[in-house]
């Protein structure tokens, strides 16, 4: 009997009451049992807790759904969504429109005008339960989740046709839970209020197919160049496949997309067989892909600004990782760094000063202007019309630099403590063991005697600069060029003694940015084109932050600028630059056989580079018989374009002075020993400066350029006009 009374009361163990357990909590064994954690409760208690939790969540969910159905209304069908989906590129003020990417191209059709096999192909591709579901598909959602979790190659998506129609027509492309909830509710309401045929018709007229085509009618033209009524079954399967994700399935975008499309078309055709809409016998011969039209250039890419819009697309892809679909229909508002007045000045300058007489076929000009110390691209001229030539003279063409590289030799010399007053032998030709069997000559074989680096820069004396380069080592010039902003990958950028004469072939953008580093007193910035990006359709916000580093000292920059000011002063190869009417510095450049000519220069506020070159099927050719000249120099047409551009771009801005010369190494100045020179021979020169004797250029007839646009080629009957007429200086350009 007493044994029975010694058994503990189970209730006391759970509740902490009975047998004095409550008074011994925290000290006795029964107290420990009273503190047992909630997760160690018996199974029956656990089951109750789980059931009540689930019931609670279901109740909350039901309440949320009820509230959602009561509060979420179907938007007005005329809510201007098309406008929201069109991406717009603006100038730097964020207000002046430059272009619209993928201009909205939509022509609605009644469902009766859309072939049945096309309707069936779309349903087989996107929503095989379309005619039986209630606007949303739980199985489709589960399939989409399984695909994301398992990584399996499930072809069907998670959204029904009704959901896609709602998303495209009534909502934004945002990827948020709130937007998804609204999509579900509106889809159910739309399915309740509209017939399936009405939904399908609306869907086929609003879905985006890529290539700027919204709706099935414009898509048929974009991909096959025919009316929708003439589409074959296989062509219909292509359109039904592309609509899923144009950036993944448009074969014009690459081999990967072509492979993706082939698999997707097979999936669609097989689905049509499964659904009973296509017989196996009719399906069998439909292999591979039908002939698909090439992708036509967007209307947004026409004219000179087309090159800017194309560059904007590349920057959106590389920096923001946006897809073509995001860019084409993401409702982006893109503010660029391009100044509308400066861009117009660039287009007007080329229209006015580009040569139009002589052998000007296949002659091109490129211009880029960069803000020093910031990297913002203020103006860019890549050609007259992007649709006619999808190759930018500003950012795509690699153009031998010529004497513009002498500026980098100056930077390297000053970093070595060599003063710009150091003197070198400027006689021609120069023979040196470092040059092998090929001597270096000045233009026309002219000898200058002993010259300091300031005079050698002003007159572009090849032999003096090569002697400098041999003295300090060619790698010094190469390193200085890279530090200033010339990419290390630039074709021809080597360590040979003539690299200071510009044997490398940079982009115009690279040179404009490298000279901007000098103008910014040694501060190098990474060039950029996009200032801000926002969207009311997808989740994207971007604000550019300039990337600026110290490339070389302010003292070095001050002495380089001083030497380059000698170029634009009286007697320099670019003396006409003084017509800008403010402090300027720069350098002319003429490549080997005058296949390219440059003028690159700057003020403290703006750096700009202009290049002209002749390219025949990708092969550089000499610029001969142009404007009545045997050969061009950088002091001719490029300088004229640069002058007129800078006048327009800087109009209304303050005149700012350059820093004064510091005089690095002046205390060590001595006359360098002349290099022994052999008598002139007939050995051909490889110097990147022209070898023809300078000839005065004729004064072309004056003309007025169009203030609004650039024709494929300027229509004026002469070249540079009035005070900007080119004159070949006594040095080489």
Task: Check if the beta carbon of residue 487 is closer than 8 Å to that of residue 575.
Answer: no
Task: Check if the beta carbon of residue 363 is closer than 8 Å to that of residue 320.
Answer: no
Residue 462 and residue 405: Cα distance in Å, rounded? 11
Residue 325 and residue 521: Cα distance in Å, rounded? 42
Kindly give, in sequence order, each residue whose CB lies less than 8 Å from that of residue 82, ignoring residues fewer than 6 positions away: 104, 106, 214
Residue found under tokens 């069997």 = 437
Residue 234 and residue 251: Cα distance in Å, rounded? 15
Residue 228 and residue 226: Cα distance in Å, rounded? 6
Task: Give catalytic status of residue 159 as yes or no.
Answer: no
- How many alpha carbons fall within 13 Å on the CB side of residue 36? 13
CA distances from 331 to 165, 441, 540 (A): 17, 58, 10
* Structure-block tokens of residue 531: 């200032």
* Structure-block tokens of residue 282: 């009719």
Residue 394 and residue 368: Cα distance in Å, rounded? 6
Kindly give, in sequence order, each residue whose CB lies less than 8 Å from that of residue 47, ignoring residues fewer than 6 positions away: none
Residue 149 and residue 359: Cα distance in Å, rounded? 64
30, 87, 126, 460: the active-site residue: 126
Kindly give, in sequence order, each residue whose CB lies less than 8 Å from that of residue 619, ignoring residues fewer than 6 positions away: none
87, 403, 600, 609: the active-site residue: 403
Strands 548-550, 523-525: pairing is antiparallel
Task: Check if the beta carbon of residue 625 is closer than 8 Å to that of residue 592.
Answer: no
C-alpha closest to that of 665 among 472, 467, 497: 472
Residue 494 and residue 463: Cα distance in Å, rounded? 18
Cα torsion for 415, 420, 422, 425, to the nearest 10°? 110
Task: Check if the beta carbon of residue 116 is closer than 8 Å to that of residue 122.
Answer: no
* Structure-block tokens of residue 178: 């709130």
Q: Which residues of 507-534 are buried (b: 16+ CB within 10 A; e: fewer)?
A: bbbbbbbbbbbbbbbbbbbebbbbbbbe
Task: Check if the beta carbon of residue 598 is closer than 8 Å to that of residue 611.
Answer: yes
CA distances from 481 to 119, 329, 430, 518, 592 (A): 61, 41, 24, 11, 19
C-alpha closest to that of 607 among 725, 527, 548: 527
Strands 450-452, 363-370: pairing is unpaired
Q: How many CB atoms lie within 10 A of CB 88?
A: 16
* Structure-block tokens of residue 581: 């009417």
Task: Give catalytic status of residue 126 as yes or no.
Answer: yes
DSSP string, 438-468: --B--GGG----EEEHHHHHHTT-HHHHHHH
Residue 480 and residue 484: Cα distance in Å, rounded? 6
Task: Check if the beta carbon of residue 587 is closer than 8 Å to that of residue 567.
Answer: yes
Segment holding 523, helix H or strand E: strand 523-525
* Structure-block tokens of residue 447: 């000898």
Helix axis angle for 462-472 and 474-484, nearest 10°, is 100
Tell me if residue 213 falls in helix, strand or coil.
Answer: strand
DSSP string, 237-264: HHHHHHTT-HHHH-GGG-HHHHHHHHHH
**CB-count burial class (<10 Å; 0-12, 13-18, 19+) for 708:** exposed
Tell me if residue 33 falls in helix, strand or coil.
Answer: helix
Tell me if residue 140 falls in helix, strand or coil.
Answer: helix
Catalytic residues: 126, 403
């Amino acid at each position: 009997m007493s044994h029975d009374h010694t058994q503990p009361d189970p209730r006391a163990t759970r509740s902490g009451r009975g047998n004095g357990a409550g008074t011994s909590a925290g000290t006795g064994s029964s107290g420990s049992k009273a503190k047992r954690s909630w997760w160690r409760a018996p199974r029956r208690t656990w089951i109750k807790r789980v059931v009540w939790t689930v019931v609670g969540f279901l109740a909350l969910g039901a309440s949320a759904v009820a509230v959602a159905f009561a509060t979420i209304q179907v938007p007005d069908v005329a809510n201007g969504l098309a406008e929201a989906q069109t991406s717009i590129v603006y100038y730097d003020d964020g207000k002046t429109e430059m272009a619209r990417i993928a201009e909205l191209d939509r022509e609605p059709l009644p469902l009766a005008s859309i072939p049945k096999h096309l309707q069936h192909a779309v349903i087989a591709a996107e929503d095989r339960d379309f005619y039986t579901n209630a606007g949303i598909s739980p199985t489709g959602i589960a399939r989409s989740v399984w695909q994301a979790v398992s990584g399996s190659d499930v072809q069907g998506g998670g959204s029904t046709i009704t959901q896609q129609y709602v998303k495209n027509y009534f909502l934004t492309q945002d990827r948020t839970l709130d937007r998804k909830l609204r999509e579900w509710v509106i889809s159910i309401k739309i399915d309740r209020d509209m017939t399936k045929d009405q939904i399908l018709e609306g869907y086929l007229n609003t879905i985006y197919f890529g290539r700027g085509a919204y709706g099935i009618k414009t898509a048929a033209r974009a991909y096959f160049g025919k009316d929708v009524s003439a589409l074959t079954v296989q062509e219909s399967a292509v359109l039904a496949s592309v609509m899923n994700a144009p950036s993944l399935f448009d074969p014009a975008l690459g081999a990967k997309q072509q492979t993706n499309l082939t698999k997707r078309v097979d999936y669609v055709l097989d689905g049509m067989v499964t659904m009973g809409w296509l017989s196996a016998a009719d399906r069998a011969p439909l292999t591979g892909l039908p002939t698909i039209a090439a992708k036509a250039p967007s209307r947004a890419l026409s004219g000179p600004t087309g090159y800017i819009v194309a560059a904007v697309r590349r920057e959106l892809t590389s920096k923001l990782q946006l897809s073509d679909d995001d860019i084409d229909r993401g409702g982006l508002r893109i503010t660029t760094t391009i100044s509308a007045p400066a861009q117009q000045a660039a287009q007007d300058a080329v229209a006015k000063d580009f040569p139009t007489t002589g052998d000007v076929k296949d002659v091109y000009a490129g211009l880029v202007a960069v803000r020093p110390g910031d990297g913002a691209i203020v103006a860019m001229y890549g050609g007259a019309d992007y649709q006619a030539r999808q190759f930018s003279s500003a950012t795509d063409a690699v153009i031998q630099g010529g004497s513009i590289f002498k500026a980098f030799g100056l930077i390297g010399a000053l970093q070595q403590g060599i003063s710009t007053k150091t003197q070198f032998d400027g006689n021609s030709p120069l023979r040196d063991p470092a040059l092998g069997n090929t001597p270096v000559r000045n233009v026309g074989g002219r000898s200058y005697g002993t010259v300091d680096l300031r005079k050698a820069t002003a007159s572009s004396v090849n032999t003096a600069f090569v002697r400098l380069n041999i003295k300090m080592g060619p790698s010094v010039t190469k390193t200085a060029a890279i530090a200033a902003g010339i990419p290390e990958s630039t074709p021809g950028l080597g360590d040979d003694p003539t690299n200071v004469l510009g044997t490398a072939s940079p982009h115009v953008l690279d040179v404009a940015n490298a000279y901007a580093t000098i103008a910014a007193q040694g501060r190098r910035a990474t060039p950029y084109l996009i200032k801000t990006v926002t969207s009311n359709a997808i989740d994207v916000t971007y604000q550019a932050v300039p990337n600026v580093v110290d490339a070389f000292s302010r003292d070095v920059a001050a002495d380089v600028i001083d030497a380059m000011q000698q170029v634009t002063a009286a007697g320099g190869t670019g003396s006409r630059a003084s017509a800008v009417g403010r402090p300027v510095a720069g350098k002319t450049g003429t490549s080997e056989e005058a296949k390219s000519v440059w003028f690159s220069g700057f003020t403290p506020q703006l750096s700009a580079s202009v290049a002209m070159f002749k390219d025949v099927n990708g092969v550089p050719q000499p610029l001969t018989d142009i404007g009545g000249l045997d050969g061009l120099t950088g002091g001719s047409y490029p300088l004229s374009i640069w002058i007129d551009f800078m006048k327009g771009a800087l109009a209304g801005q303050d005149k700012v002075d350059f820093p004064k010369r510091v005089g690095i190494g002046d205390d060590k100045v001595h006359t360098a020993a002349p290099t022994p020179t052999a008598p002139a021979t007939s050995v051909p020169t490889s110097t990147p400066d022209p070898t023809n004797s300078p000839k005065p250029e004729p004064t072309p007839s004056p003309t007025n350029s169009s203030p609004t646009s650039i024709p494929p080629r300027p229509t004026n009957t002469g070249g540079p006009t009035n005070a900007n007429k080119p004159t070949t200086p006594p040095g080489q350009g």
